[in-house]
Amino acid sequence: MTPPFVGQHNPYKGRPPRPWVRVRLLAADGTFREVELIVDTGSPFPLVVSEALLMAVSFKESADVDANFGFMAGGWFRLVIPEVSLNCEIHGYGCDNVFAGARESHSDFGGLMGLPALRLIEYGGDADGFWIRPAKRLSP
């Protein structure tokens, strides 16, 4: 018998079609924002969201960076993906140009997730969609 799939399996979405994940970003007051992020394994940055979302949920500031598409404000997020049991602080950025670029593909998208965040879990894809699942636990 095939065990039930644990994680997210999300059909590609947008024009052009994009792989994506659904995450929660927790604010200091305990509330959270759920956001869909385009997956970009070529990005060296864990998270990039809108500047407004950074301001709303970031716990602390972090190093800013000037990129070829504009200023990116650094901050620390609490990233939660319940389906893969991920709950951690992670460094990321607020950048409205990246946010706008993501939304050009689909209005549901709120930014992107890059390789450093994806390495915290397992990920992959097929002809129909993109999936994530919990990271394998290493033996102590």
Partner 1 sequence: MTRSQRSVENQTAFRRLQTTIDTTYPAGRFVALDGGQIIADAATFEELTKVLAAAGQDSPEVLVVQAGGYYPKSVNLLSPMFPR
Q: How far is the CB of 47 from partner 1 (least distance, A)?
A: 13
Distance CA 107, CA 109 (A): 5
**Segments in the chain forming alpha helices (H):** 51-57, 96-105, 115-118
Least distance to partner 1, CB of residue 79, Å: 12
Residues near partner 1, by CB under 8 A: 18, 28, 38, 40, 42-44, 51, 58-69, 71, 73-74, 76, 89, 91, 94, 96-98, 100-102, 104-105, 112, 116
Task: Give CA–CA dist 28/113, Å, rounded.
Answer: 21
Smallest distance from the beta carbon of 1 to partner 1, in angstroms?
40
- The residue among 33 and 91 lying less far from partner 1, judged by its C-beta, is 91
Q: Give just the sign of the alpha carbon dihedral 79, 80, 84, 89.
A: positive
Cα Rg of the chain (Å, integer): 15
Q: Which CB atom, from 6 or from 65, has the smaller least distance to partner 1?
A: 65
